[in-house]
Each structure stands twice: as C-alpha cells, then as structure tokens.
Amino acid sequence: MIVIMRAGASEKEIEGVLAHLRERELTPHISRGVQRTVIGVLGPVGPTGVAGALGGNITPELGPALEGLDGVEQVVEVSKPYKLASREFHPEPTVIRVASPDGDVLVGGREVVMMAGPCTVESGEQLLAAARAAKSGGAKILRGGAYKPSTSPYGFRGLGVAGLELLAQARAETGLATITEVMTPAEVELVCGYADILQIGARNMQNYYLLDEVGRTRKPVMLKRGLSATIEEWLLAAEYILSQGNPNVMLCERGIRTFERMTRNTVDINAVPLVKQLSHLPVIVDPSQGTGKRSLVASVSLAAVAAGADGLLVEIHPHPDAALKDGAQSLQLGQYAELMPRMRAVARAVGRA
Amino acid sequence: MIVIMRAGASEKEIEGVLAHLRERELTPHISRGVQRTVIGVLGPVGPTGVAGALGGNITPELGPALEGLDGVEQVVEVSKPYKLASREFHPEPTVIRVASPDGDVLVGGREVVMMAGPCTVESGEQLLAAARAAKSGGAKILRGGAYKPSTSPYGFRGLGVAGLELLAQARAETGLATITEVMTPAEVELVCGYADILQIGARNMQNYYLLDEVGRTRKPVMLKRGLSATIEEWLLAAEYILSQGNPNVMLCERGIRTFERMTRNTVDINAVPLVKQLSHLPVIVDPSQGTGKRSLVASVSLAAVAAGADGLLVEIHPHPDAALKDGAQSLQLGQYAELMPRMRAVARAVGRA
Amino acid sequence: MIVIMRAGASEKEIEGVLAHLRERELTPHISRGVQRTVIGVLGPVGPTGVAGALGGNITPELGPALEGLDGVEQVVEVSKPYKLASREFHPEPTVIRVASPDGDVLVGGREVVMMAGPCTVESGEQLLAAARAAKSGGAKILRGGAYKPSTSPYGFRGLGVAGLELLAQARAETGLATITEVMTPAEVELVCGYADILQIGARNMQNYYLLDEVGRTRKPVMLKRGLSATIEEWLLAAEYILSQGNPNVMLCERGIRTFERMTRNTVDINAVPLVKQLSHLPVIVDPSQGTGKRSLVASVSLAAVAAGADGLLVEIHPHPDAALKDGAQSLQLGQYAELMPRMRAVARAVGRA
Amino acid sequence: MIVIMRAGASEKEIEGVLAHLRERELTPHISRGVQRTVIGVLGPVGPTGVAGALGGNITPELGPALEGLDGVEQVVEVSKPYKLASREFHPEPTVIRVASPDGDVLVGGREVVMMAGPCTVESGEQLLAAARAAKSGGAKILRGGAYKPSTSPYGFRGLGVAGLELLAQARAETGLATITEVMTPAEVELVCGYADILQIGARNMQNYYLLDEVGRTRKPVMLKRGLSATIEEWLLAAEYILSQGNPNVMLCERGIRTFERMTRNTVDINAVPLVKQLSHLPVIVDPSQGTGKRSLVASVSLAAVAAGADGLLVEIHPHPDAALKDGAQSLQLGQYAELMPRMRAVARAVGRA
C-alpha cells in the first residue's frame, strides 16, 4: 500500500500517518520527493477479524482509514484485495464439473457450454418444449427461474417450489443439467435439492448472507455481475463464496448499466478477456439480459464466444409472445436452432469446441 | 400504455398486437399516422397475480411483452408503475413518528431532522461519546451500524447483537432515537427489538424478501437508494414496503455511481426536489456516503437542506483516525458541532426549522 | 409525437397544449383516458429554419417546448429524429468506396476491412515499418494521426503537416489508403489534400462546424462515437454530415465512458448490431481506444467481427514501448501478424471475407 | 510517479522499466516487496515539446507509456497533471473582473453573482424583457445565446451576428454585462467584440483549438464541464486556457450524464466544494441545463449557493411556452423574481452576499 501525502503536508501530518501504521504493527517506508512525501507500507494482506485485532495485516479497512488522515492525498492499494479468485494465486483455469443425468458437464474447459431455457418456468408444457429444443440445439444445461426478482411488487415472482419440481421433471426427461436462481439464504437448501447450478442474480451480487450460504454448499454457483459492479467488486463477491470453501464458482457478465438506454444493459465485452486474465474462474455471458432485445441476441452471442467466453446463458421460449416475463429478449426456438451452428463455427474459429 | 409500431409495420403485425391485448381483455385504440401506427391501451394498472391470471389489467409484464411482438418499435408507459408511493395517490406529505425516550420525533414535517453517529458501533465508549455530541449538536436520532456490509469477505462486518445492545444503552442514556441497518429477513425481528428505525442499505434496495419482511412490521424504515437505481426503481422498492402495509417509509439519497471517481459517489441533488414532487415520502440525504470525503460533508449537507431534504444522515466519530470503518468520511465531533448552527441558518433561510 | 398530460391536468392546461400546437399549424388528436389525457400530434418531421418559421412541421424543438407547458408530464417522439442516416429511409446498406493507389477499397461490403497503423505519426521510419506490417497482414487502410487531441496542454499534439506528408509517402510506398484525424474546420481542406478518409474524433462528435465542413466535401468520413454519446446522438451527428450532401459516412464505435475504470473505455458491443439495424451506414470498431490495454485488443477485435462490424481500426507500432502516445494499447507488429489469420477465421465463420 | 509491477514480474521486465526511465533521463527508485516490486520516479512534471524531446521531465505521455511495458500492472501519478489551475500553485482564490456599463462585476469574491437571461436570443423584445427582469431581480450579467449547438442538423442554431447585436443593445440599455457562447476558433474575435464573457459549451470543453484561441484573448471565459468529463479533465481544459496566458477562467458545473434519465443531467453538487479545494478558479452552477426541468431549478439553485458556488447561470424567458429552445427549463420572469430573495437568504446564511 502506498500513501501519497499532499504537497506541503506538515511533519506532524506525516508523523500522524507513521504513528497510525506503527500502532497496527505495520512497517512504513518513507520517501521524500521535492513536492510530496510518499509512504510505502509492507505487510501481508489479511482479514480484519474481530474488532481491534488489526495487528500486522493490511486489512480491507486500512486504505480508507489512511485516506481520512490529515495531509493524505491518496492511497494506492498495491496488492489485489481478492486472493482465492485471482490468477496470481491459482494460475490454472478452474474447470467445474456440473452433474447431469447424461454425465458431467465441464464448464471452463475447451468446450463452450450453452445454457438455454425460458426466463421463467411457467408450465410443464412450456418448460419441456424449451428443454427439448435446448437439447436438440446442443445445450447441456437448462435454465429456468422458479423464484424471480420483480422490480414491481405487483409483478410475477415465479412459481416457487412448483417451478422447481417442473425443472426437476424436465431434467429427468431430457438429461440436461439445470440452473435456477436462489434469492435468499433461507431457500438455499431447498433449491440445492433440485438444481445443479445455483444462480445468484445481479441484484444479489452483494447480498453477503446469501453469498456466505451458497459458499457453505459445494454446488456450482453462477454469480452474475451486479448492474453497476466494478470488476473488482465482482471478484470480491466471488471471493466470499470461495472463502467459505466452495470452489465451484463461475462468473456471468450480463450487461452493466450505462447512460445508453436504447438497450436494456450494455454488455461489457472487454470484461470477458480481462476477467479471464485476472481470475481462473470460468466466464459466462448472458446476451439476453445483456441486450434486452431479441434482435441483438445472436450477434452478441457470437461476439461473446469470439471474445473467449466459456459459456452462454440464453433465453429461449416456445411462444415468446405469450411469455410471462422477458419475452422481448427471448429467442424463438427456431431462431435458437439457427444460431447454434453459427455459434459452433465461431467457437471452432477461435479454437474452442 | 402506448404501443408505437415500426414505420411500415404490416397489417399482420398490427393485428398481432391487437390480438395480444384482446386475449388479456384489454381494449386497444388504434390510430394510423402517415408513417406509423400507434395503439393506445386502456385499463386499470394492476397486479399480475398468479400465473395466467392477467385479465383486464395493465400488469408490470405487459409493456416488456408487447415490446417483443413483431413490428413493435417502442412501448410507452403512461401510468406510473407505483401507486402507494406517489403524490397522485397521496397528495399530502407523509410525516413519520419515530419513537424516542425523549418523545416522538417527526420526520417529514417542518423540522429538518439530523441523524448522526458513527458508521459502525465499535465500543460503548466510542458510541456514547458520539451520541452525546450528536445530541448536544441538536441531532434527534443516533445512527450506528451493528451489521455492516463489507465489499471484502476479509473486512469487518460489525459487532452484531453486541452492537445492538450498545445502541440500546446509548439510546437510554441520551434519549435519542436510533437507526441501524438490517441486512437479511431472518434478522428483522431481532433488530426491531432494538432500533427505532430500520435502515435498508443501498446494496439491499432490491432485496425483495427483505423489503417484504420490513413491510410486515410497522417500524419506520429508511430505504437507501441503490448505487445505480433509477428514481423509478427506488420508488418501486418503497412500494414493496408500503404494499405490505407499512406506511412509515422514508427515502435516503446517498449518492449514485457515475464515471467520476474522485468522489466515492455522486450525490444526485436533483433527486431531492424531484422525489418530493413525485412522492409524499420524506427524503433524507447522506452526505457522508454521498461524497466519501470529510472535507465535502459540510458543504453538501448545507446544499441538501437548501434543496429541501427532510433530514440528514451524517457520520461522526470521536476519533475518525482510529475508526474501524469509513473514518475518511466521518466528521470529527468538533466539525459536527461547527456545522450544526450553519445548518440551522440554512434551514431557516428556506423556511424550515 | 405524443403528449402525455399529468393525472388530473386541468381543462385549461389541456387547452394550452392544443393552442400551442394550433399556432404551429399542427393537428392535435386528443384521447381522454380514465386518469390521463393523451394528445397525439401529426405532421411531417421537418427543419426549424429561421426563427419563427415553425409552421406545419414537427421540429426538433417542439418536443422540449411541449414538455415545458403546464400540466404536461412527458412527451414521446414517435418518429426518428434522423432521416438520411436511417434504414427506414435507405434500406440498402451503404458501401463506401475509398480511393487507394492499389484500387478502391469497399467499406460496408462483404469484406471486413482492417485499418491499422500507429496512433500517432512519429517519424518516417516508424510509420513505414508499421505500414508495411499492416499491409502484409492484410490491412487495406493505414491509420496515423498528424493532429492529435491531448487531454493536457503540455502533451504531444502531433507533427501536423509534416505528419501528413509522411502519411502520403507511406501511402505511395505501400499502396494503402490512409485515414487521419481532422480537428478543426479550418484544416479540413488541407487534410483532404493528403488523406483518403477523414476521421472525426470522439471529442469532436458534436463539433457541428466541423461536421458541416466535412459534410461539404465528398471525402469518406469516419465519425467516432462520443465518449458519452447515445446512439441517437451519434446518428444525428452523422445526419449533419449527410445533410450537407456527403453520403460517405462510416461510424466508429470506440468505447463509451462508464463507471468501470479498469479499462479505458467500455466497448458497447450491443451497438454494433443495433446501429446496423437502425442505419445503413458501415460500422467500424476501434478495440485499441475501446479497451486501452494491449492484452485485450485481440479478443475484442474478434468479438467485433463476430458481432457484425464492417471493419476494425487497430493501433500497431514497431516499438510500442517507445511510442510517443498510447503505446499501452498498441499491438506489436508480431501480435498483429498473429491476430490477422484468427480474424479471417472468425470473419469466415460469420459469412464475411 | 509510481510504477507497480505485477506479482512475479521478472528481472528482465523490471530492467525494461528502469531502462525506459533512464533513456528519458529520469531517476528511478526501486523498492522490492515480498510480492511486488514498486518503482518510484522523480523529476519535474513538464511538457512534451516536440517529438523526441522528452528528457528529464515527467511528461503527460510517460504514465500511459509505462503502463504498456511488460510486467507493469499499474502506474500511479503522484503529481497533479494541471498546475496553473491548482490551489497548490495559486493558493489565493481568483477574483475575475467583468466589465459592464455599470462598473466592474467581481466573480469569485464575496458576492454570489447571478447570470440570467434566455437560453437563446430570439428577438429584441424577448431579450430586453428578460434583461430588465434579470436586472431588477439582482442579476449582474445577462446571458443569451447567439450561436447555439443543436443536436439535430434540422434544429435552430441561433441568430448569429444579429443575436450579438441585440445582446449589445440590451447591455447598453440595462447596464448589465453579457455572456454568450462561442463555438469555433474563427468566431472568437467577432464574439469578443460584443460580449463581456465568452462561454465555452459542454460539447466544446475538449475542443482544443477553441481553448487555445480564447486563451490568447484576455476576456473572461466561462468553461462548462463536458457531459462526461472528469473533474481532472475539466481542470486540464482550464489549464489550456490559462497556459495561453489568459488568467480569467471561471468553471461552470452544468450537470453530468448518468444512468438517470428522468432529469436531463445530474448536477454534481459534490464537485462544487471539491473543485474549490483543488483550484482557485471561481465555480458557477447552471441549474437549468443541470436539471432540464423548470420545477427543479429553484431548489437546485439554492443548493448550489449553499454548497459554495460563486455564481449561478439561470435561464429565464418572458414566455417560456413560446421559447424557441429549452423553454421547459426556463423560469418565468415571476418565478425568477420570487427565487431571488430566497437565494439572497441562503447566501447570507452561508456568509456570502
């Protein structure tokens, strides 16, 4: 950590910073320039623990605390605040095994994995039609929401357990693995009983009790990036899950919120290669949420694969016009069938399967 | 609701929209321009209810569904999606009674209410020093976090129940009402036993289970605006709480995330008068989170009062340099004491007390 | 255009809107719902012309003016504000012929066109080395800045005319067409004498005098999207050039500014297919500016081609470490040589050449 | 400047950085931590000058160049990139004298200066009515656009010279000083002949030729913040003008672009005290552009004064309903008259006149 003092900071102010560091058993290294003094801090990056027990570690609170001291202009973190999620700590890419009736599906390996299905489970018929189409197009994983976040309290919030049951039936019938959202700690155990991958939605990316809870399971978890989460915050949210002992975390870029409102969100395509450089975790892209427009889903899917995504999460629906939720961004089954060979061609062109 | 068709949309596409509306027992009004056809939809705005039961209402899902139909260019909502939170429905400003040992504190009335205290409860000594200073400066409500969201899993997450106990002691000792954050549905009952106002943090603004749960209590709730929540989404989150039967909701503008990173957040000062026009709920401003810099807190506090805020939420700390969390944005007790008369002068200048 | 009145707007307020429209010789269509009145406006979309001459047209100022009338809640534009740039007006894709010593290069046709070269012309040697590598990799167009925008007044602002001369020499030597930035109306004629494509930089996207001036030439123009320009504003800037009579406009997505600062900008990959649906103009992507990081350029280049871009603008440099400007985002010549066959593979996979 | 190497950067990579610095006659200071090596760079911050002449200075291009070297993770600038605009260099606040027929108006002193008038000069009658109201309310400066940026090429672009003439007449008649926008270098001299303050609009904040040109005059310049300009970029734009020798620069916060679209822009109220800490230049706030809604202008004006603004730029119009441009954000003359005493009360409350 590097503390940059204001130009003209007084000796007393500099001494204040040094004292703050020494109290925490940290070793400051001072270097005085013509205009400014800069103080380097060495020490292992470590947890805060219980109140007061800060000794000897560069804790997450140290930087903000130093920024508040008199005479300090800026504090620069030198070490990354996440560890288990980082490539530095874990150079090999993580490959996650997802159980399915047809055998394990590997996420993060050579194959680009397609996850397809309706936004929301509406009925057995709807789900099964989508599941069959998903499978015949080449998907390995069936998506479908039983618990749905709704911006309005008057909106549809999912079928709940009945939806989970339908998902389990479609799984048995088609052999596909399943992914579904879990929204609150109290439901994690229940959802674990039905689904092969737990999805943490964008609005819950910083719901820390929920992250802790899914971290205590060993189920694969797909962690969606928050609407306005920086890449660092996203990796820190993954670190929550990893630090509870669950190594099976995949990340999902689903578009961020920007000033552009002609699309629902803005897919941050830069994040795909960047996160793969910073982290060993697999990266999935959701072009349905990411664009909000059916007419853009195919192009952005192909772009995601070309950029190096390990998988796609795509909404498909047998009758998007009659969908209860998000029909405007769901592909018709025929459009999905048409996309799949194009996706395979791009995957091959970038050396994936 | 108004459906704008693409220029050159076919008769079949127009008919598709009309059929979609008629199936839902809604009455379309068609108007054909030179270039485009526009379809108006009448009907009460209403809830979705259980799957399938969509008849006769303009539900939250209708607009997105229509946008996905062939030939549709854009859908414009004419009615506001929130009702209980709106001025249209409830023209008189809401004044919330907050219980305190010294008698009720009114939020949303003529008086601008100061809520002050440390970001985080660290010890009885720290809290009591802050509470006494808060009171002697004129604050009516003591803030202090017992459960703290931490971006990093290695950070300090609060003293928990012990922190709530300290808060209750400081309340008894000073006569101040208290506000503290609640982070998960399972802890709502516990926190209700200690605090006078429940705070929903920015990261939890769309934690719908939590909103439901605090909506089932009758405790005053302060709902912070999410980092990238639009004003409409914020009011819809308030609507969650109101629609569960709890009318005691106050809103807190605490800065939004923008491209500018020299400050921690950007206080959306426009939102203060705008939300007061759209809604009858009281609006509080948090200049500490909103700026992240102690040196900006006083100026932005004064601005918030001048803009019409009903209260301020300010972090103060007896020793900000030694604060466990957010010391850089906490006022020293002396700075707070200095600010209070200036705040009163501005309040008087805009006709408040 | 549709004017949505506030719930409970008075008859006098409604009459005020009607009068405003009639004064401008526009025909209002009124429709009264249970809660709100909605007023439709018919009439051709047209220019404002000289002050006062507003009659009979829906002008660009009409919407904002109506929004200011008493009782008006919202105004919705039904027609697109741009015409010459739109697909509706011009359904066939525009293919632009760029002159080069080796014959015409077509931008917007079946072939994905590579434009490569240094950010800034530094010397004849540097430019020629880059130009030869560009050509041997398959680029058709050489980029190189002679006039450079610099955020700081103390930074390097380009070699000026000497840079243009070097560009012309490299053109003659290699047979490549050239593209270079023009920053002010007074230099348009000069730059036209040297370059085959005029580049309008992101900071100048709304420099209307400059747009007018390049619109008066018939040179191909590449219009970069402004840092925070919406897609609609971008197309309106193109409309400036087109409406002066120059049909040779290509658009360049170069990343927008968002809250994420780990990359220099955020490439809006959604914009590539969306702009191609809204407009007939070719779309180029600049992954160098768009990411700011050399290590991301290849992946984002491939993504852009997969998403349907008509060309790429990539910075390459014989010695990026010694580059005067933007070395961190410039590919080394070897990296560029390696990228080109991968790009061709992806182009083929999506049916392009 | 501090260069932070990647964890595990090789000796060769470290040596590469050192060599890069030594070539530029800069002195590196190396410090090796357990995980990372950090290299400090001393040397005066200075201009780039002509290509190649980089020796001994930390130039604006150095940081980006270092970031591109192998093994470098991050580069941190220690010194501020602007000098003439900074408080460090110029601790006393700048007070600008603006000539007016009634005597000099001081901007940046104890008095909060009101600049009021129509967005656009439309006619002598309109301008004079606004000017008289402005003056009688207490404004010292009359605003009015003769050259107007229009997002659409079909919109109204101002009366040009005729507008300047009307402005000069209103000045003579009322004794008010005048401010008007200048949009291109070629018109600077012309506009100087008519106006007392030159306004650089938000879209032109990085039009460097224009900044240079107004920098060569000695006229007071009001520099609006760009739509998505960081505070640092804004101050660097001011530095362009200052470094040409014109010390009379005032800054104008006019709202930034964010995800919130219910208001036209988001006034960055934090920027008011922050810029006054970083810089000695006066800060003006434009609540009309900053909100886009007449109903918010008064509250945000009061907030700006409370936050420490040195002046306000407010749009007023005798008949906003008939305004050619931006009527929706213009105050009626009566509303303005009502606002002024409230503004004076707030100014007094914060110790201003």
3-state secondary structure D27-81: EEEEEECCCCEEEEEECCECCCCCCCCCCCCECCCHHHHHHCCCCEEEEECCCCC
The predicted-structure confidence for A225-261, as pLDDT tens digits, reads as follows: 999 999 999 999 999 999 999 999 999 999 999 999 9
Q: How does DSSP assign D124-149, residue by residue?
A: HHHHHHHHHHHHHHT-SEEE-BSS--
Please report residues of D whose CB lies closer than 8 A to that of C186: 185-186
Question: Chains touching chain A at 3 or more Cβ pairs under 8 angstroms?
Answer: B, C, D
3-state SS class at B333: helix
Q: Residue C255 corresponds to which tokens in the numbers above?
A: 């990343």
Report d(CA B333, CA B315) in Å as an integer.
10
CB nearest B36 (choices: C31, C36, C78): C78
| Selected residue of A78, A80, A90, A266 to mutate for chain D interface (largest D Cβ count, 10 A) | A78
Q: Tell the burial category of A25 from Cβ atoms under 10 Å away from its Cβ (0-12, 13-18, 19+).
A: exposed
Query: Considering only CA atoms, which of C342, B259, C282, C274 is closest in space to residue A287?
Result: C274
- Work out the average pLDDT over D195-205: 98
When CB atoms are compared, the residue of D35, D79, D258 closest to A259 is D258
Whole-number pLDDT of residue C278: 97
At residue C6, the 3 state secondary structure works out as coil
Q: Residue C321: what pLDDT?
A: 86
Phi, psi of D253 (to 5 degrees): -80, 120
Q: Is A306 on the interface with D (CB under 8 A)?
A: no
Q: CB-based contact (8 Å) between C16 and chain B? A: no
Contact yes or no for A51 and B156 at CB 8 A = yes
Longest dimension (CA), chain C: 75
Integer Cα distance of B138 and B163 in angstroms: 23
Choose among A238, A243, A313: nearest CA to A280.
A238
Average pLDDT over residues C13-35: 88
Considering only CA atoms, which of C156, C224, C170, C216 is closest in space to residue C192?
Answer: C216
Instruction: Give residue A53's pLDDT.
Output: 43
| Cα–Cα distance, D259 to D248 (Å, whole number) | 34
B172 contact C CB<8A: no
> Phi, psi at residue C40, to the nearest 5°?
-95, 150
- Number of CB atoms found within 10 A of residue D249's CB: 27
Q: A301: distance to nearest CA of chain C, Å?
A: 8
pLDDT digits (tens, 9 = 90+) for A64-91: 889 999 999 999 888 889 999 999 899 9
Check residue C58 and give its pLDDT.
Answer: 85
**β-strand pairing of C105-107 with C72-76:** unpaired
Query: Is C88 in the B-facing interface, judged by CB distances under 8 Å?
Result: yes
The answer to whether the Cα torsion of D13, D19, D25, D28 is positive or negative is: positive
Per-residue confidence at A51, pLDDT binned at 50, 70, 90?
Answer: very low
Contact A47 B204 (CB under 8 A): no
Percent of chain A with pLDDT over 90: 81
The reported pTM is 0.96
Q: What are phi and psi of D171, to 5 degrees?
A: -60, -50
In which residue ranges of chain B is pLDDT below 50? 50-53
- Tokens 């800026």 identify what position? A74
How large is the average pLDDT for residues C12-20?
94
Distance from CA of D69 to the nearest CA of C (A): 6
Q: DSSP label at B89?
A: T
Least Cα separation, residue C273 to chain A (angstroms): 6
Cβ distance A323 to B62 under 8 Å? no
User: Which pLDDT does position D51 carry in this prediction?
Assistant: 41
User: Mean pLDDT score of chain D, rounded to an integer?
Assistant: 94
CA D331, distance to chain mean position in Å, is 23
Question: Which residue of chain D is at minimal alpha-carbon distance from C234?
Answer: D151
Average pLDDT, chain A: 94
**Which segment of C301-310, D67-76, D95-104 scores lowest on mean pLDDT?**
D67-76
| pLDDT(C54) > 80 | no
Are D300 and B269 inside 8 Å of each other by CB? Answer: yes
Q: Nearest Cα to A67, choosing from A1, A127, A156, A133?
A: A1
For chain B, the chains sharing at least 3 beta-carbon pairs closer than 8 angstroms are A, C, D
**Phi and psi based region of residue A260 (left: phi greater than 0; alpha: psi -120 to 50; beta: remaining):** beta
* Amino acid identity at A39: I
Please count the helices (runs of H) and the strands (runs of E) in chain B: 11, 15
Provide the pLDDT confidence category of residue D349 given band limits of 50, 70 and 90: very high
Query: Would you state the pLDDT for residue C78?
Result: 83
Region for residue C146 given its phi and psi (left: phi exceeds 0; alpha: psi -120 to 50; beta: otherwise) = alpha
| Contact indicator for A109, A98 with CB cutoff of 8 Å | no
Point out the residue among C48, C82, C257 whose CB comes nearest to the CB of D156.
Answer: C48
| Whether the complex's predicted ipTM surpasses the cut of 0.90 | yes
Work out the burial of residue A303: count CB atoms within 10 Å of its CB; fewer than 13 is exposed, 13-18 middle, 19 or more buried: buried
Return residues 210-269 of B near D (CB < 8 Å): 228, 230-232, 255-256, 258-263, 266-269
CB atoms within 10 A of CB A178: 24
Mutation target among C73, C125, C208 for the D interface, most CBs of D within 10 A:
C208
The pLDDT score that the predictor gives to residue B48 is 67
Among the partner residues A67, A122, A152, nearest to B81 by beta-carbon distance? A152
C324: left (phi over 0), alpha (psi -120 to 50) or beta: alpha
Contact A284, A250 (CB under 8 A): yes
> What percent of chain A is predicted at pLDDT more than 70?
97
Nearest CA in chain A to B328: A68
User: Among the residues of B4-155, which ranges form H helices?
Assistant: 11-23, 62-67, 124-137
B2, B8, B259: residue with CB nearest C257 = B259
Where is average pLDDT lowest: A307-321, B38-52, D35-49? B38-52
**pLDDT per residue as tens digits for the range A151-172:** 999 998 999 999 999 999 999 9
Tell me the pLDDT band of C51, cut-offs 50, 70 and 90: very low
- In the numeric block, which tokens belong to residue B10? 């076919």
Q: C58: which DSSP letter? A: B
